[in-house]
A and B are shown apart, each in its own frame.
Chain A
Amino acid sequence: MTAIMDGPEATKVSDVIVCRDVHKWYGDFEALKGVNLTVEAGEVVVILGPSGSGKSTFIRCMNRLEEHQEGRIIIDGIELTHDVRNISEIRREVGMVFQQFNLFPHLTVMDNITLAPINVRKWSRDRAEELAMKWLTRVGIPEQADKYPGQLSGGQQQRVAIARALTMQPKILLFDEPTSALDPEMISEVLDVMRDLAKAGYTIVAVTHEMGFAREVAQRIIFMDGGQIVEINSPDDFFNNPTHERTKLFLSQILNH
Chain B
Amino acid sequence: MAQTTVSPPGSGADIPPPEEQSIGSRVMSYIFDIRFLGVLGQIAFILLLLVGAQRIFSNFGSNVDKLGRAQFICRDGRFAYRCAYDFMDNEAGFDIDDTALDYVNTDSFWWALTNGIVNTFRVGLLALVATTFLGTTMGIARMSDNWLVSRLSLAYIEIIRNTPILVQLLLIYFSVILALPDIKEAVQPFNLPIFLSNRGLIMAWPQFMSSASIWIAFLVLGVIQFQVMWMFLSRREEKTGQESSKFTWGLAGFLIIAAIGWIVSTAVAENEGLLIPNSSRIDEVEDFEKLMLARAGINHLSELAELPQEELDAVTLNVCVLRESSSEANFVNRLASEGIPFKISRNGSPAKAMAKYRDGSCEMFAAPKSVLAAEIATLETPTDHLIVPVKERPLVWSIPRFEKFNIIGGLLLTPEYFALFLGLTIFYAGGLAEVVRAGILSVSKGQTEAARALGLSEGQRLNLIVLPQALRVIIPPLISTYLSLMKDTSLGVAVAFQEVYLVSQTLMNQSGRALQIMIVLMIIYLSISIFFSAILNWYNDRVVIVER
Contacts and interface: CB of A to CB of B under 8 A. Distances in A.
Interface in A1-41: 1, 5-8, 10-11, 18, 20-21, 34, 36
A74 interface: yes
Given A6-B9, A84-B32, A230-B5, A72 B15 contact: yes
Interface residues of B, number: 17
A81 B33 contact: yes
Contacts of A11: 14, 16
A232 interface: yes
Contact of A7 (B4, B8, B9, B15): B9
Contact of B34 (A34, A84, A228, A232): A84
Given A36-B9, A246-B4, A6 B14 contact: yes
Contacts of B29: 81, 83, 85-86
A70 B32 CA distance: 20
Contacts of A18: 16
Given A11-B14, A230-B4, A230-B5, 8 more contacts: A5-B6, A7-B14, A8-B13, A21-B8, A36-B6, A81-B33, A83-B34, A228-B1
A83 B32 contact: yes
Contacts of A97: none
Interface of B: 1, 4-6, 8-9, 13-16, 29, 32-37
B6 to A, nearest CB: 5
A82 B6 contact: no
A143 interface: no
B417 to A, nearest CB: 52
Chain A binding surface SS class:
mixed
Nearest to B16: A11
Contacts of A6: 9, 14
A121 interface: no
Nearest to B15: A20
A245 interface: yes
A186 interface: no
20 contacts: A7-B9, A8-B13, A10-B9, A20-B15, A36-B6, A36-B8, A74-B16, A82-B33, A82-B34, A83-B29, A83-B33, A84-B33, A86-B29, A229-B5, A230-B5, A230-B6, A231-B4, A244-B4, A245-B4, A246-B1
Nearest to B17: A11
Contacts of B14: 6-8, 10-11, 20
In the complex, the 8 A-B pairs of residues with the closest C-beta atoms, listed nearest first: A82-B33, A244-B4, A83-B29, A83-B32, A82-B34, A8-B14, A84-B34, A246-B4
Interface string A80-93: 01111111000000
B56 to A, nearest CB: 35
B27 to A, nearest CB: 12
Nearest to A81: B29
A228 B8 CA distance: 11
